[in-house]
Amino acid sequence: MSNLIENGSYVLIFLDSKRNWIRKVIEGETFHSNKGQIQYDDLIGAPYGRVVKSHSGILFQVHKPSLTDIQTSMGKNARISTNIIYPKDAGTILIEGSIGAGSEVVEAGTGSGALTLVLANSVGSIGKVYTYENRDDMYQAAKKTLEKYTSAENITMHKKDILEGIEEKDVDAVVLDLATPWEVVEHAFVALKPSHHFVSYSPTINQVIRTHEALQMQGQWGMIKTLEVLQREIRVKPNATRPKTWMVAHTGYLTFARKLCEGYS
């Protein structure tokens, strides 16, 4: 991917952690904020990482949007912010779900597409993400988001309720962000390779308890565990270093399990 900003590129225009925006660079148009304006023409042809001065003299950084930038931006714009899986949870999903370059992953629901982007970036052109979304409005919105930020060649979108079954077989991970993940435990078992990874994200402890019940009832899952991840930002100043005053106290619990195979000696 080019390191020069082009007409049509998406950029992160960054002032500080609260005031930053992802925008599409359009020839002849202008970025407006209450800290001044920037002519997009001044960005075209410049490298990402450029610092530009608005017409009112404020310095903005212009970056290539990272996945975290995109997730954070989608979170800020979401009507219900917990609908977006946060970077702290996405990182844990990748690591504990053993997802990396070349993995084949099933995801449901697609939702905003924010986690789909993370998974697609992780598995790369040599992997595959299959994502299920039942609601038409969500499906269409996610489709637009995915086309905006990725070539999407490694993503297959299903407009379908995953409760009706998973079409894929022998996948490396099934990642669920659903109201009733326990109803998909059986389908996930059929779709996964042995020893591979079931992952479920749920905001409430009641959902976690029911998911554990389903995993344990089947008796065919091992290494079942549930984690919660807290992330705190430190404000570093030479003589006044301290954690920031506020933090997100809770997004969701992450439940992991691995498929066992039948029969033992």
Q: How far is the CB of 8 from a copy of itself (least distance, A)?
A: 17
Of 113, 80, 119, 81, residue with least CA distance to 100: 119
Describe the crossing of helices 114-123 and 67-77 by its angle, rounded to 10 degrees.
170
Of 9, 25, 47, 46, residue with least CA distance to 38: 25
CA angle 176, 104, 65 (to 5 degrees): 75
Q: How far is the CB of 242 from a copy of itself (least distance, A)?
A: 5
Rounded Cα–Cα distance for residues 80 and 233 (Å): 22
Q: How far is the CB of 246 from a copy of itself (least distance, A)?
A: 6
Q: How far is the CB of 235 from a copy of itself (least distance, A)?
A: 8
Look up residue 229 and give its two tokens: 């991840």
Quick one: 139 or 256, whose CB is closer to a copy of itself? 256
β-strand partners of 20: 14
CA atoms within 13 A on the CB side of 155: 28
With a CB cutoff of 8 Å and minimum separation 6, the contacts of 173 are 97, 98, 99, 103, 104, 105, 106, 192, 196, 197, 198, 199
Quick one: 145 or 154, whose CB is closer to a copy of itself? 154
Q: How far is the CB of 183 from a copy of itself (least distance, A)?
A: 15
Quick one: 91 or 168, whose CB is closer to a copy of itself? 91
Q: How far is the CB of 132 from a copy of itself (least distance, A)?
A: 22
Quick one: 8 or 47, whose CB is closer to a copy of itself? 47
Quick one: 164 or 227, whose CB is closer to a copy of itself? 227
For residue 131, the tally of other CB atoms under 10 A from its CB is: 25
Quick one: 23 or 139, whose CB is closer to a copy of itself? 23
